[in-house]
Structure 1
Amino acid sequence: MNIKPEQIVFEVIETEDVQDIEHLKNILNYYRSHGFKYALDDVGVGYNTLNRLLEVEPDVVKLAFEFTNGVSKNEKQKKVAQEMLAITHRMGAQALAEGVETEEDLKCLIEMGYDLFQGYYFAKPNPKPLKEIHSIYV
């Protein structure tokens, strides 16, 4: 298998509070210097706050499910999603919307300008990789 480093994205998850942020940044910078990318997972919940986003400067910012699921019908969620998108793009990172489960939410997030999407709308977890995704947007 011929996988290039830039095809691999590590995730910094929100479940633990990192006590030594400089150590984490050194690890992430090491990976980046070797061509790998990293994402900050579930931004907006747990320990992945706006401060953490600014500290680690990820390549991909994953907006948490709580802010994307149902976004097409909730003005408060839309405002959060739009603000996070603006911050993410100003940082030069890609914005990923997690928890996309409906076509309406997908359309809304596409119209906002999100770059990447993940969620049950595309596929549910499966022990075998999908060979293709059936969607009007792919």
Structure 2
Amino acid sequence: MPPRPYLASLPAGERAFAERLAAALHLGNYRHFDLQGLDCIIGVGSSQGFAEDIAKLLDRVELPVDRMTSTFRNLAAFDFETIPDIVRTLRGHGLRIALGGIAGEPPPLDLIRTVAPDLVRIDGLWFRRVAESEGASRLLPRLVEGFQADGAQVLIEGIETRRQLSAALDAGADLYQGFLLSAPQLAGTATDAAEIEFSEMFAGEAKVIPLFGGRR
């Protein structure tokens, strides 16, 4: 069954154990996949000691720490005041840090300024609402440029249509994620790591040239 409903069905203590076990399995299995050279992003659970667990696991698995990025999977479950301390623990072990917004909300600017993450994740639900509004989507490039000016890469999540992909490309993000690019697969499925040519995804699409400038 999908992980979210499974984890939600567990008592708090069992969920913390399941989160830690999942992290151990992901890290331990990384070397069994033919994905050398690709970055690995793993979520930090909200249970106490999770950050320390990941650091210990990194000492036991064959995973180059410079390819490892840690993100806060469910930001709403954290006390924001504790996040800087968790970040210091993770960075102390050489991990890069990714930070995104709560589902359906924009990136938390104050927390991002405090933490200075290496990667800013733009939530897919919020991004899709913005991308479908021509006026709002014009603000995306300024938002992305601001994060990049502070030294962070920007990942736009939840891309499901070519229009949304076009908005993400126009915004100038560094990384892109979503069902349009790669749908979730069952555990054990062979992973296709071939590069995607964005130009081919728009092949055959009718071009509309507006009379008064701009892009549609």
Change (3 A) 1:117 1:47: closer
The CA deviation at 1:70 is 5.8
Q: Any conservation in 1 of the 2:75–2:101 contact (CA below 8 Å)?
A: yes
When structure 1 is superposed on structure 2, of 117-126 and 77-86 the one drifting more is: 77-86
- Where structure 1 has 5 or more consecutive residues not aligned to the other structure, the ranges are none
Which residue pairs with 2:118 in the alignment?
A: 59
Distance 1:6 1:56 in 2: 19
Higher RCO (C-alpha 8 Å, min separation 6) = 1
Letter in 1 for 2:128: N
Q: Any conservation in 1 of the 2:100–2:121 contact (CA below 8 Å)?
A: yes
Structure number with bigger Rg: 2
Which residue pairs with 2:79 in the alignment?
A: 18
- Partner SS, residue 198 of structure 2: coil
Which residue pairs with 1:102 in the alignment?
A: 161
Q: Any conservation in 2 of the 1:65–1:98 contact (CA below 8 Å)?
A: yes
Which residue pairs with 1:7 in the alignment?
A: 67
Change (3 A) 1:102 1:132: same
Distance 1:133 1:68 in 2: 26
TM-score (structure 1 length as normaliser): 0.79
Change (3 A) 1:133 1:110: same
Change (3 A) 1:69 1:46: closer
Q: Any conservation in 1 of the 2:105–2:123 contact (CA below 8 Å)?
A: no
RMSD of aligned residue pairs (Cα, Å): 2.7
Change (3 A) 1:81 1:48: closer
- Partner SS, residue 75 of structure 2: coil
Distance 1:77 1:10 in 2: 30
Change (3 A) 1:40 1:97: same
Q: Any conservation in 2 of the 1:61–1:94 contact (CA below 8 Å)?
A: yes
Distance 1:129 1:27 in 2: 34
Change (3 A) 1:48 1:82: closer
Aligned residue pairs total: 136
The CA deviation at 1:94 is 0.5
- Where structure 2 has 5 or more consecutive residues not aligned to the other structure, the ranges are 1-30, 32-61, 200-216
Q: Are 1:50 and 2:109 an aligned pair?
A: yes
Change (3 A) 1:33 1:90: same
Q: Are 1:116 and 2:116 an aligned pair?
A: no
Q: 1:137 aligns with which of 159, 177, 198?
A: 198
Percent identity over paired residues = 21
Letter in 2 for 1:88: F
Report the structure, 1 or 2, having the larger helix content: 2
